[in-house]
A and B are shown apart, each in its own frame.
Chain A
Amino acid sequence: MALTGLFLMLFLVIHLLGNLQLLKDDGGEAFNTYAFFMTHNPLIMFISYTLYAFIVWHAVQGILLWLSNKSARGNNRYAVQYSRPEERPSRNMAWLGIVILVFLMLHLYQFWLQMKLGKLPPVDVAAYDHPVQNLYIPVAEAFSNPFYVVFYVLCMVVVGFHLWHGFWSSFQTLGLNHRRYTPLIKTVGYIYSVAIPAGFALIPLWMYFSKI
């Protein structure tokens, strides 16, 4: 969980940096150029197949872990359920993860699959001498729907809570706990888990409100 989680957290940073090109008001020129590059560069294609495998691995391992931990707890539950407020994200990692998995399936169907099936209209970009697929169209369409924007932002809140625990937890599981460095790891983790989802949420909000 820790190794795949750390890889996925690294991916989120790259994904966000790429997506921030949507904030450029150029009708998707930069974004489409980037999307073509990301789907045709052999090194990045190799990394992306690793990524798909890691997403599946992280999800499968997480669900199996959740089920085995539930059975370890036994059939009788405590009549009085006590938990400290700061434990809430960590106690709900499985539920948060399942919401993210559902979001991810929709997310991949909407953008990634359409592109892979070649269903998107071609568009000319300055960087290439041939037309590329216009991924900007489904993105702009989705983010013009207020319900989708709200759904997307809520999913980013869920991602934030998942990362709130996941960041520090990955280091702890790998044995990286030290009185000098753990407070730093935790602080970086909390900043990361707010900044990254906030960055993703900014894109649909910006695109929606700048079009009104």
Chain B
Amino acid sequence: MRLTLKIWRQGGQYKGEYVTYQLPDVNPDMSFLEMLDVLNEQLISQREDPVAFEHDCREGICGTCSLVINGRPHGPMKGTTTCQVHMRHYHDGDTIVIEPFRAQAFPVVKDLVVDRSAFDRIIQAGGYVSVNTGQAQDANAIPIEKETASRAFDAAACIGCGACVAACPNASAMLFTSAKISHLALLPQGQVERQKRVLAMVAQMDKEGFGKCSNVTACEAECPKEISVENIARMNREYLAAVFASEKEMA
């Protein structure tokens, strides 16, 4: 099938603009990223600068691929990353607009690649367990309710791709941060650093320049791992509790 692509190009010769490309023969069995690979081969053979985009596992589990496709992070399908979108969902003659994730805290590196290291710094602020939790068998020895373990697992499914920030009209990172906080707050191993963690991670999130949640819930709708906004409410609860109950004075 024949496709018209309008792609955001930024860096090098491009000042930040949409460039239109024609792809005359796209195989419907290709994945979205394979389609971009074909475009790049075409550009390289014409001695043009290929389009920069991020990808790694191409299995929908690593959270490296991004892209806003026709206004939607990770494309039109529910609970799907860009790498799992296939060209059979498009029709001959379609125009596809491809943009980077846009947020002040996610500066564009080049074309469709954005710097998402703000997420790493939020994790570094407290998204870990540093007390000794023993070996694997010790985890099995700690009793935990099935329901709670499932909630923690649902939150842990977050791959940190940043689609929540890209979808949010406020560029808020609260779905991501709340998923990480929920994951550890629900588990016995996370209890020791529970209050310290939420205070530190929220402070880092604000410092990175993400917006504030106004409960639009576009994040939940676009999240490839279908992380629920229940986690945001849980983070708000955890935060309020930590502010009032923590023995530590806030910095």
Tell me the complex Cα distance, A159–B97, Å.
Answer: 36
- Say if the beta carbon of B117 comes within 8 Å of chain A: no
Taking a contact as CB atoms closer than 8 A, the residue among A71, A76, A87, A177 that contacts B233 in the complex is A177
Smallest CB separation, B17 vs chain A (Å): 11
**Contact A169:B71 (CB < 8 A) given known A73-B103, A78-B102, A175-B233:** no
Residue in A73, A78, A87, A176 whose beta carbon sits within 8 Å of that of B68 in the complex = A78
Write the nearest CB–CB distance from B90 to chain A, whole angstroms. 14
* Residue among A84, A168, A177 with the highest chain B CB neighbour number at 10 A: A177
Cβ–Cβ < 8 Å partners of B68 in chain A: 78, 80
Give the chain B neighbours of A210 by CB distance below 8 A: none
User: Which residues in chain B, 103-120, are within 8 Å of chain A measured between CB atoms?
Assistant: 103-105
Contact with B along A71-84 (1 / 0, CB 8 A): 11110111111111
Is B218 a contact of A172 with CB atoms below 8 Å?
no
Is B72 a contact partner of A82 (Cβ separation < 8 A)?
yes
A91: interface (CB < 8 Å): yes
- Asked if A65 and B214 sit within 8 Å, CB to CB, the answer is yes
- Residues of A participating in the B interface, judged by any CB pair closer than 8 Å: 65, 68-69, 71-74, 76-84, 87, 90-91, 93, 165, 168-169, 172-177, 179, 182
Alpha-carbon distance A73/B211, docked complex (angstroms) = 7
Taking a contact as CB atoms under 8 Å apart, the answer to whether A80 and B70 are in contact is yes
Interface residues of B in 225-251 (CB under 8 A from A): 229-230, 232-240
Nearest to A168 among chain B residues (CB) is B215
Interface presence of B18 (CB below 8 A): yes
- The reply to whether B234 and A82 contact each other, CB–CB distance below 8 Å, is no
Set of chain A residues within 8 Å of B72, measured between Cβ atoms: 82
Expressed in whole angstroms, the Cα–Cα distance for A112 and B6 within the complex equals 56
Shortest distance between the CB of A21 and any CB in chain B (Å) = 35
